């Protein structure tokens, strides 16, 4: 009895959908590409708090708000300054902030429960490549330790405890520090002592002798040189050219509940990233902005040299580095490669933070929201790679391509894996 009415309803629904599709095909693409903030694609949550740590690479989040890119996509980004990565972690987990400029490895560590309470996490995009460094104290440099090999020699001769600081146990800085030390034959857990210190406190702690070296983002490495207390032993781009660094991270719950808002955040920050890398004058304007007390709270000169690629090591060497901190690089920076996330898992396994091998690829697919990123990039006409895996050679000559993560993780001569 109900067959004919049902067919009529289905036919009307089909015609409505077909008509809507036809109408959309007549809308100029320039209008369609800005239509995310309308209708069913409107952000579910229009005001978002994005946490950040006072580092140069918070710039794309800050500029997305300052320049009003967020408003184009129907949201208002409020950057919130945080004291430490542990605070960022806790506020993300508790929902006190919606997203964060955050360490890649922190997101993975929380997802697997090895760096605090376990919670499903989401990585929306990479915020920057390169631009971190390892600083050694001036005292250590005066003793002859200026690179990995000479540091190993000094540690071997001087039997005292040498202390090195990173910013979070599963974070990027910890992994760069451990990788570099190990490449020089120094076991970061047996041959030296390592501690966790928030980025803005690194220079002050080195000044009073609490550490012999640290790995942190800019501007704190350059600040140590400017203050005459440290030297740059190696940049992280020399450890891994175009390495992933900070990401735009949130919880899996947030993405599930507010997918349109998450996409809008990606689009706003992508626009800011593109703006920063578009010109020298934009980079200088960015440096002036983030140097402000509300953000990094340092002098513009401490920031702008290294973001322009103008490096000095504090020992008389100066150079122009083409692989300085990049925020966009024609979109090459921002794609959430699965292999990048998997690399952090291999290092967590290598250093015993993970006691067993996870399903590396499956975990990366859970966290890295590639489809959401592709939607945002498509609207901004930003190209994306065909392959979600990429190949890189690191400072020790070992190639990472993501094909056999278990073998890679356990194949290093210096490791503490159990």
Tens-digit pLDDT profile for residues 306-323: 999 999 999 999 999 999
Q: C-alpha angle with apex 396: 188 to 157, nearest 5 degrees?
A: 45
Which residue is listed with tokens 């390592």? 194
Q: Are 181 and 350 in contact (CB under 8 A)?
A: no
* Average model confidence (pLDDT) across the chain: 92
Give the model's pLDDT for residue 418. 65
Q: Considering all CA atoms of the chain, what is the largest pairwise distance in Å, rounded to the nearest integer?
A: 94
Tokens of 248: 């735009």
- Strands lying side by side in the sheet with 47-52: 76-81, 47-52, 99-103, 246-251, 121-126
What pTM does this model have?
0.90
Q: Are 340 and 92 in contact (CB under 8 A)?
A: no
pLDDT mean over 111-125: 96
Residue 13: pLDDT band with limits 50, 70, 90: very low
Residue 417: pLDDT band with limits 50, 70, 90: confident
More confident residue, 3 or 290: 290
Question: Rounded to whole angstroms, what are the CA distances from 375 to 16, 153, 174, 192, 260?
Answer: 25, 51, 32, 46, 10
Task: Name the 3-class secondary structure at 415.
Answer: coil
Instruction: Give the residue among 95, 100, 8 at the shortest CA–CA distance from 50.
Output: 100
Domains parsed from the chain with CATH numbers: 41-128+245-311+328-335+359-386 (3.40.190.10)
Instruction: Give the residue among 338, 340, 336, 347 at the shortest CA–CA distance from 408.
Output: 347
Q: C-alpha angle with apex 90: 89 to 93, nearest 5 degrees?
A: 85
Residues 6+ apart with CB under 8 A from 158: 143
**Interstrand relation of 163-166 and 213-217 (parallel, antiparallel or unpaired):** parallel
Q: C-alpha angle with apex 248: 247 to 251, nearest 5 degrees?
A: 115
Tokens of 306: 């290294």
pLDDT mean over 375-391: 97
The continuous run of DSSP H or E covering 220 comes out as: helix 220-226
Residue 39: pLDDT band with limits 50, 70, 90: low
pLDDT tens column, 188-217: 999 999 999 999 999 999 999 999 999 999
Residue 237: pLDDT band with limits 50, 70, 90: very high
Residues 6+ apart with CB under 8 A from 38: none
Percent of all residues in the chain with a pLDDT value above 70, rounded to a whole number: 90
Give the model's pLDDT for residue 74. 97
- Strands lying side by side in the sheet with 213-217: 193-196, 163-166, 213-217, 132-137, 230-235
Is it the case that residue 20 has pLDDT exceeding 60? Answer: no
Q: How many CB atoms lie within 10 A of CB 290?
A: 28
């Amino acid at each position: 009895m109900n067959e004919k009415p049902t067919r009529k309803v289905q036919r009307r629904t089909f015609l409505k959908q077909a008509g809507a599709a036809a109408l959309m095909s007549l809308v100029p693409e320039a209008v369609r590409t800005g239509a995310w903030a309308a209708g069913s694609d409107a952000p579910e949550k229009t005001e978002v708090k994005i946490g950040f740590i006072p580092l140069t690479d918070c710039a794309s989040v800050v500029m997305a708000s300052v320049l009003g890119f967020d408003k184009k996509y129907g949201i208002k980004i409020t950057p919130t300054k945080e004291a430490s990565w542990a605070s960022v972690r806790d506020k993300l987990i508790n929902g006190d902030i919606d997203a964060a400029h955050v360490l890649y490895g922190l997101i993975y560590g929380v997802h697997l429960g090895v760096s605090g309470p376990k919670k499903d996490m989401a990585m929306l995009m990479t915020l920057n490549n390169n631009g971190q460094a390892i600083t050694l104290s001036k005292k250590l440099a005066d003793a002859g330790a200026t690179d990995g090999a000479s540091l190993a020699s000094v540690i071997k001769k001087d039997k005292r405890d040498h202390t090195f600081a990173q910013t979070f146990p599963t974070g990027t800085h910890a992994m760069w520090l451990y990788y570099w030390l190990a490449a020089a034959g120094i076991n970061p857990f047996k041959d030296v002592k390592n501690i966790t210190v928030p980025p803005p406190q690194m220079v002050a702690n080195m000044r009073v002798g609490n550490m012999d070296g640290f790995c942190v983002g800019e501007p704190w490495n350059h600040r140590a040189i400017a203050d005459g207390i440290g030297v740059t032993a190696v940049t992280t781009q020399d450890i891994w050219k175009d390495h992933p660094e900070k990401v735009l991270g949130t919880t899996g719950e947030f993405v599930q509940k507010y997918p349109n808002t998450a996409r809008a955040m990606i689009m706003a920050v992508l626009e800011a990233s593109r703006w920063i890398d578009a010109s020298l004058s934009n980079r200088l304007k960015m440096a002036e902005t983030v140097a402000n007390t509300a953000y990094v709270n340092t002098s513009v000169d401490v920031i702008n040299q290294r973001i322009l690629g103008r490096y000095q090591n504090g020992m008389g060497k100066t150079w122009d580095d083409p692989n300085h901190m990049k925020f966009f690089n024609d979109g090459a920076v921002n794609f959430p490669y699965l292999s990048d996330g998997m690399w952090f898992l291999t290092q967590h396994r290598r250093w015993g933070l993970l006691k067993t091998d996870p399903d590396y690829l499956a975990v990366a697919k859970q966290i890295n929201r590639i489809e959401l990123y592709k939607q945002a990039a498509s609207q901004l006409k930003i190209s994306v790679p065909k392959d979600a895996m990429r190949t890189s050679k690191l400072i020790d000559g070992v190639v990472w391509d993501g094909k056999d993560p278990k073998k890679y993780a356990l194949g290093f001569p210096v490791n503490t894996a159990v």
